[in-house]
């Protein structure tokens, strides 16, 4: 559920940022950079959450996860 929530938050942030583009080149460049960072952050956090789920599934009695 945490991974799904993070994916939904990333999509919502990208949609919000994309809807606030303007006719100014610098503003659009900044929004594109923010979208790039939010997608990268979403992918990294989702990968980490999936890795934690896998480690927990392998050894739930250990404190690795």
Does 43 score more than 90 pLDDT?
yes
Instruction: Output the average pLDDT for the chain.
Output: 90
Model pTM score: 0.77
CA torsion sign for 21, 25, 26, 28 is positive
d(CA 52, CA 4): 14
Domain boundaries along the sequence of the chain = 2-58
- What is the reported pLDDT for 23? 82
């Amino acid at each position: 559920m945490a991974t799904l929530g993070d994916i939904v938050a990333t999509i919502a942030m990208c949609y919000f940022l994309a809807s606030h583009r303007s006719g100014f080149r610098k503003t659009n460049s900044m929004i594109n950079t923010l979208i790039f960072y939010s997608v990268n952050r979403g992918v990294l956090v989702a990968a980490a959450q999936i890795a934690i789920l896998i480690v927990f599934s392998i050894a739930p009695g250990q404190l690795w996860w």
